[in-house]
Structure 1
């Protein structure tokens, strides 16, 4: 935890590279929210099926959903949102300049008792010798 789900409309102008943006998000959010960088699970989803406002292709969106367990103080949640928004603003300069783009960040608080997961055991083996 946390899980980051970044959705963006297919008409963004920037060449989006998750492997460049997610490390920056992880670092910024770890500092702002007290998360451990190794605990982030992130994915980017290009939305080919979307409709914004009147349907103009000159409108675009980027939305980051930060899913984490409930209980962080409002000031921490605000700092996490602000840090994420700063990183995303830097990641989509062409889209912001060339389209009516809405970049948003939301914090989704998960109920710890209803969250379930299975963590597999590391099955890699290390051998010495040769």
Structure 2
């Protein structure tokens, strides 16, 4: 864990390179020094149906959810959130200049006793 999920309105297809954005956000998460490389997941999902604000068809959004395990201080979580949000803001600055775009981020801590994982990448990456 950490897992960063982006949900975005379908009207942003072609306006944002979501593969590139995922790579930039992965680098931002890694750059915090708080998470192992093998645990980082960043993915984007298109919402084919949405209604935002006054329902203009050009209204769009990117909503980011960052799920992390417990054990980091409030300051560390805030630093991670600021790194992610700053990276997303920079990548989508053109959209933010319009009056039809919303960007959001929420950090959620996962209760470890209710989270199961197996990750075969850790051994390989820890040896590098």
TM-score (norm 1): 0.80
- State the Cα deviation string for residues 3-54 of structure 1 (Å, max 9, x = none): 1111111222763223312222122122225112232122101111111122
Aligned length: 121
Query: Which has the higher mean CA deviation after the structures are superposed, 30-39 or 109-118?
Result: 30-39
Task: State how far apart, in whole Å, the 2-side matches of 1:40 and 1:79 are.
Answer: 16
- State the Cα deviation string for residues 56-111 of structure 1 (Å, max 9, x = none): 22422111111111231111111111111111112223322234322111111100
Task: State how far apart, in whole Å, the 1-side matches of 2:14 and 2:85 are.
Answer: 16
CA contact (8 A) 2:25 2:42 kept: no
- Per the alignment, residue 9 of structure 1 pairs with 9
- Per the alignment, residue 88 of structure 2 pairs with 88
- Per the alignment, residue 72 of structure 1 pairs with 72
Query: Which has the higher mean CA deviation after the structures are superposed, 6-15 or 23-32?
Result: 6-15
Task: State how far apart, in whole Å, the 2-side matches of 1:111 and 1:30 are.
Answer: 22
Q: 3-state SS of the aligned residue for 1:98? A: coil
- Per the alignment, residue 63 of structure 1 pairs with 63
How big is the shift at 1:120?
5.9
- Per the alignment, residue 100 of structure 1 pairs with 100
- Per the alignment, residue 47 of structure 1 pairs with 47
Q: 3-state SS of the aligned residue for 2:72? A: coil
- CA pair 95-75 structure 1, distance change in 2 beyond 3 A: same
- Per the alignment, residue 19 of structure 1 pairs with 19
Q: Which has the larger radius of gyration?
A: 1
CA contact (8 A) 2:60 2:102 kept: yes
Q: Runs of 5+ in structure 2 lacking a partner?
A: 122-128
Task: State how far apart, in whole Å, the 1-side matches of 2:45 and 2:13 are.
Answer: 15
Between Structure 1 and Structure 2, the one with more helix by share is: 2
CA contact (8 A) 1:30 1:37 kept: yes
TM-score (norm 2): 0.81
